[in-house]
Structure 1
Amino acid sequence: MLIFAPSKMTLVQFITFLLIGIGLSFDSFAVSVSCGLLRREIQFLQACKVAASLAFFQALFPLLGWFIGSAVENILKSVDHWIAFGLLAAIGGKMIFEGIRDNGSLNNLDPFKTSVLIGLSIATSIDAFVVGISYGFLEIPIFLPVLVIGAVTFIASMLGMLFGKYIPAKRSHQSIILGGIILILMGFKILAEHLWF
């Protein structure tokens, strides 16, 4: 298979890759809204770090799926939704716990912490892995789709943090609880899509 397309990308191919990128970026957008709620004082470079992490993993996973191929497809399909749900529920639950504490302390949960950020990035990128596998089956060069998916996710994540940052809230701990609920609902959404649809 070829990683790079032998010719220029057509308009139809670009639109197809763009729509797939938009679909894959919905979860990253929701996570970014939660990050904006959690840290309203978020700076531009911090937002870029979050968006870059989400975009990197969203682009990396289809590339990995493209290389790995069908060998792990059946195994992954049986557990991918549980992995995503577990990561999102754990981080969302911690956010809710911090939000309902009497002292309202925000110091123990940092959405910019590397381990938390990687967990969120992986949880929102698992579906992209399966997309990469399908591209491998269809022998579609993966380089251009990866670029489009990464760019769309970065833009969606930046917009999500901006949106979350300016959602009105009387007190910051209420925003944390809302952000945690969003993450847990995203986890249930992933479970529902894989178990019942």
Structure 2
Amino acid sequence: MIFQFIAIGIGLSMDAFAASMCKGLSMNEINHKRAVAIAGFFGISQALMPVLGWVLGINFISYISPIDHWIVFGLLGAVGAKMIIDSFKTEKEEKCDEKFSYLDLFLLAIATSIDALVVGLSFGILGSPIVLASIVIGVTTFSLSFAGVYIGYYIGGKFRKAAEIIGGTALILIGLQILLQHLEII
């Protein structure tokens, strides 16, 4: 189960990773405190949103348990597909913001963690251990976001599209695995 949480964490953190790369791209010089702040905002929001979703999921489990595997597959598939579709946006549609403010960073962290809320809902439906999942997702996001700032600063945005496609594909495959396991196909 830990490997599944790591894979989910990697998939969920791709938006935060891409946003962190943008923040790194916009830095004239690397700022270690800003890199930690950026990673911290993303890591904490990605860790807390699944908990909120989990609470919602466990409160509705009795109503949806007959079709829970289909819901999980649909939610993860939709989040994954959105990530893949978003990866094909043109550079004109996505700009890296050059300014740094904690309010903007907070709003960006919330915006990039909405998919984690949906995944947390899936965890609640499945009865997954949310504390472990939340910690793994938060640490994974923090680590990748921290690296993203430096990668953005040193390398640039060449790998952003590939990262979002890989993350989206991972979420779709995890949703498919859950569905196939429940249907006893695998």
TM range (shorter): 0.5 to 0.7
Q: Which residue of 2 aligns with 1:43?
A: 31
Residue identity over aligned pairs, in percent, reads 40
**Residue 4 of structure 2: aligned partner:** 16
Kindly indicate whether the alpha-carbon contact (under 8 Å) linking 1:40 and 1:166 is maintained by their aligned counterparts in 2. Answer: no
Could you tell me how far 1:139 is from its partner in structure 2? 1.2
Structure 1 residue 56 and structure 2 residue 44: aligned?
yes
Q: Determine the structure 2 residue equivalent to 1:102.
A: none
Unaligned runs of 5+ in 2: 61-70, 80-88, 169-186
**Structure 1 spans left out of the alignment, 5+ residues:** 1-12, 82-88, 99-108, 169-177, 191-197
Q: How big is the alpha-carbon RMSD for the aligned residues of Structure 1 and Structure 2?
A: 3.4
**TM-score computed with the length of structure 2 as normaliser:** 0.63
Larger radius of gyration: 1
Question: Aligned-pair distance for 1:125?
Answer: 0.5
Distance in 2 between the 1:41 and 1:66 partners?
Answer: 40
Question: In the TM superposition, what is the alpha-carbon distance from 1:163 to its structure 2 partner?
Answer: 0.8
Q: Deviations over 1:106-156 (max 9, x none)?
A: xxx52x311210121011111110111111111112000000000110110
* Structure 1 residues 155-179: Cα deviation after superposition (integer angstroms, max 9, x where no partner): 10111111111136xxxxxxxxx79
Rounded Cα–Cα distance in structure 2 between residues aligned with 1:17 and 1:144: 8
Kindly tell me the number of residue pairs found equivalent between the two proteins.
Answer: 141
Of 106, 110, 114, which residue of structure 2 is paired with 1:122?
Answer: 110
Specify the SS of the correspondent of 1:41: coil
Instruction: Say if 2:120 is the partner of 1:151.
Output: no
One-letter code aligned to 1:61: M
- Output the TM-score relative to the length of structure 1: 0.60
The answer to whether the 8 Å contact 1:62/1:133 transfers is: yes
Deviation per residue, 1:87-116 (Å, 9 max, x gap): xx9xx97957x8xxxxxxxxxx52x31121
- Residue 180 of structure 2 is matched in structure 1 by none
Distance in 1 (alpha carbons) for counterparts of 2:54 and 2:14? 21
The superposition leaves residues 20-47 of structure 1 with CA deviations (integer Å, 9 ceiling, x where unpaired) of: 1111111111111100011131311110
Counterpart in the other structure of 1:165: 153
